[in-house]
Amino acid sequence: MNFYKELELVLQANNSVQKVEMFEIFYERYKSSEVVFDASHQSLYFEEPSYHEFCKVIPPQDVPKRKNLTVREGQINLLHAIAHIEYSAIDLALDGAYRFKGLPKCYYDDWLEVAADEVRHFVMLEKLLKELGAEYGDIEVHNALFEASQRTQTLLERMAVVPRYLEANGLDATPMILTKLKKLPKNEMVGKIIATLEVILEEEVDHVKKGDVWFEYACEKEGVEKATYFEIIQKYYPRGFLRPQNLNIEARKEAGFSCSELKYMAKIEVC
């Protein structure tokens, strides 16, 4: 089985059921060493995200707001938004393994493990959506994560932008969502959402840590300092660190961020 060709097919799967099934088959064969890393396979540049046939894509500012989490509509909007992040994260992890060739096998182990986690997270969220009578694709979505993968076509920039910026931002945002949910009146669905988000938050720390490891690897390979991280983020997200960030300090430290990096982002002494 050609590793890159099979990954390409999983990436191109145009519905969630197919993608999950294809990945699970691929991953089992990968773990059984039934793959060949044929680097002669020409990687595609994807013009559209894999979800474009069943999700309506709109600008990020127009995506429905996640209001009133005590009612069904608000819960669906929240779950759909997070499910979309997780579905996009499946493709980001797979694309990271597909696009960058000639790396140590442990690199591919890491990003397929991340993809497996993202698949599981998506399935958990999709199950809750279905309990509420909704499905992934019912609500408009944005392309921000896909566009990040389009723009970052080197290992150095991909590891800086995807795990160390976008996914790390989730380490800050998820606790704030959990705080809001825990203040709501007790409700079975709210309880399920809280439990699911707590699992996702715990496991996302490891994803960011993997990104940190491979960002350092890419820095060493290209002969640049780790501080180039801020130059890369400034390039793609000019307003990314202009204002003090409300950081999940402990989670970010566990994921590999240094005290000097956290100080720069928070604009105060943090550790």
Q: Encode pLDDT of 41-75 as tens digits.
A: 999 999 999 999 999 999 988 888 878 899 999 99
Give domain 52-241's CATH number out of 3.40.50.800, 3.40.50.720, 3.20.20.480, 1.20.1260.10: 1.20.1260.10
Would you state the structure tokens that stand for residue 168, as one six-digit string?
């790390």
> Has residue 198 got a pLDDT over 90?
yes
**Whose CA is closest to 81, among 6, 163, 145, 37?**
145
State how far the Cα of 20 lies from the Cα of 41, in Å rounded to an integer.
Answer: 23
pLDDT at 67 (0 to 100): 81
User: C-alpha 41: how far from its chain's center?
Assistant: 25
Contact 137, 17 (CB under 8 A): no
The 10s digit of each residue's pLDDT in 128-182 is: 999 999 999 999 999 999 999 999 999 999 999 999 999 999 999 999 999 999 9
Report the pLDDT value the prediction gives residue 245, as an integer from 0 to 100.
Answer: 83
Are the C-beta atoms of 75 and 132 separated by less than 8 Å? yes
pLDDT band of 186, cuts 50, 70, 90: confident
Mean pLDDT, the chain, integer: 95
Residue 80 CB neighbours (<10 A): 26
Q: Report the pLDDT averaged over residues 101-116.
A: 97
The SS3 of residue 149 is helix
- For 201-213, what is the mean pLDDT? 97
pLDDT at 169: 96
pLDDT of residue 271: 85
Annotate 181-195 with DSSP letters as a single string: HHTSPP-HHHHHHHH
Spell out a b/e string for 169-190, using b for 16 or more CB atoms within 10 Å of the CB, else e.
bbbbebbebeeebeeeeeeeeb
Return phi, psi of residue 193, to 5°: -65, -45
Give residue 170's pLDDT: 96
pLDDT value, residue 89: 98
The percentage of the chain sitting over the pLDDT mark of 70, rounded to a whole number, equals 100
Position 41 scores a pLDDT of: 92
Question: Residue 43: its pLDDT value, please?
Answer: 93
Run of H or E including 157: helix 155-161
8 pLDDT higher than 90:
yes
226 with 256: CB under 8 angstroms?
no
